[in-house]
């Protein structure tokens, strides 16, 4: 009788969740209580996909005939050229254009990351996460590291309030929301510190060389790895990467770090530049592998479709995140650039 009585509340407390019977430990706020919410979400996703396809079709109709039916390599080259040209122009145009560019990059990358996380049954707060990512660059631009600290504290407080008053949120959702904002926004702020350390145009040239070191790392690794790669580097995370391409990428990164020694205002010898270039190249690869593992864990090939031939913007900037903050740390800690006040 005692056993029967103990089982009754448990059985009575079970509910139908998404067409199945909930387990005893399930809380009602961690799942959809019916199939209606799931169907609405699927309908919204289908409608969003259909709108995207219609926009692509309209844009394709306006493309000149000589540019249509391009090969994958041509599409990749054209997209890369536009991305590179916009980046170079914004970096060299001044502090404010570069800050605005980083805000756009941070917001788009955060949105792509949160989209992938939602497909994995996560519930990140996209609004707070994207807003936090976008606010990191201007906070560092106007208030240096003190601004980044304030944004981090305010973001965490906002996420705590959201977690307390929205019962469907889990502590893991708070974690991924905060991680997404710092990963895509805070790490890019190293470029702002580096650019502001030198007067125009040398600050912009120094940041451009950091970009070129990251691009050289990726390009050298791809060219050498695709031609001579025999030994897989991380087959479970990124099957196409090889140790041959890895070391070639480090050489490409070191070359542009050596070029930094010729920038007026930079106090760095050749040996130091090579060492810093190797470290920065290593962190670029780590950033690439980090994003590759995120996609593999979530079941995605690309983070988005905003860059035809490359995938999403997060796919294109994955190496830049860690390279940005690493470059700032190396240059500042090594007394290579005249940064005197950080707070």
> Which residues have a Cβ under 8 Å from the Cβ of 51 and sit 6 or more positions away?
none
Q: Does 99 fall in a domain?
A: yes
* Domain count along the chain: 1
Q: Does 115 fall in a domain?
A: yes
Q: Does 47 fall in a domain?
A: no
Percent of the chain with pLDDT over 70: 82
Q: Does 237 fall in a domain?
A: yes
Instruction: Note down the domain range covering 159.
Output: 71-333
**Strand ranges for the chain from DSSP E:** 16-17, 20-21, 232-234, 238-242
pLDDT in tens, 133-150: 999 999 999 998 899 999
Q: Which is more confident, 239 or 177? A: 177
pLDDT in tens, 110-121: 999 999 988 877
Mean of pLDDT over the chain: 83
- Round to whole Å and give the CA distance between 198 and 338: 7
pLDDT in tens, 174-199: 999 999 999 999 999 999 999 999 99
Q: Is pLDDT of 87 > 90?
A: yes
Q: Does 111 fall in a domain?
A: yes
DSSP per-residue string spanning 151-174: HHHHHHHHHHHHHHH-TT--HHHH
Q: In angstroms, what CA-CA distances link 307 with 64, 74, 215, 294? A: 19, 13, 16, 19
Q: Does 287 fall in a domain?
A: yes
pTM exceeds 0.85: no
Q: Does 25 fall in a domain?
A: no
Q: Does 2 fall in a domain?
A: no
């Amino acid at each position: 009788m005692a056993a029967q009585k103990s089982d009754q509340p448990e059985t009575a407390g079970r509910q139908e969740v998404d067409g199945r019977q909930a387990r005893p430990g399930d809380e009602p706020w961690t799942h959809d209580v019916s199939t209606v919410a799931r169907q609405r979400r699927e309908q919204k996703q289908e409608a969003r996909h259909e709108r995207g396809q219609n926009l692509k079709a309209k844009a394709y109709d306006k493309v000149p005939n000589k540019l249509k039916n391009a090969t994958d390599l041509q599409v990749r080259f054209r997209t890369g050229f536009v991305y590179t040209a916009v980046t170079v122009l914004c970096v060299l145009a001044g502090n404010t254009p570069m800050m605005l560019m980083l805000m756009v990059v941070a917001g788009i990358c955060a949105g792509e990351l949160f989209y992938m996380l939602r497909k994995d049954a996560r519930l990140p707060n996209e609004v707070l996460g994207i807003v936090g990512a976008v606010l990191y660059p201007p906070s560092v631009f106007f208030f240096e590291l003190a601004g980044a600290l304030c944004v981090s504290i305010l973001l965490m407080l906002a996420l705590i309030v959201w977690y307390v008053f929205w019962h469907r949120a889990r502590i893991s959702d708070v974690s991924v929301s905060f991680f997404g904002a710092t990963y895509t926004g805070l790490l890019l702020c190293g470029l702002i510190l580096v650019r502001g350390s030198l007067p125009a145009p040398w600050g912009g040239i120094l940041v451009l060389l950091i970009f070129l070191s990251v691009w050289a790392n990726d390009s050298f690794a791809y060219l050498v790895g695709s031609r001579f790669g025999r030994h897989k580097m991380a087959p479970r995370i990124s099957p196409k990467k090889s140790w041959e391409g890895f070391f070639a990428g480090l050489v490409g990164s070191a070359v542009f770090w050596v070029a930094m020694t010729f920038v007026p205002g930079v106090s760095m010898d050749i040996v130091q530049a090579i060492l810093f270039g190797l470290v920065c190249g290593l962190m670029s690869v780590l950033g690439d592998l980090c994003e590759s593992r995120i996609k593999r864990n979530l079941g995605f090939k690309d983070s988005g479709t905003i860059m035809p031939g490359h995938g999403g913007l997060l796919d294109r900037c994955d190496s830049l995140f860690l390279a940005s903050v690493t470059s700032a740390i190396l240059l500042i800690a090594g007394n290579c650039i005249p940064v005197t006040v950080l707070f």
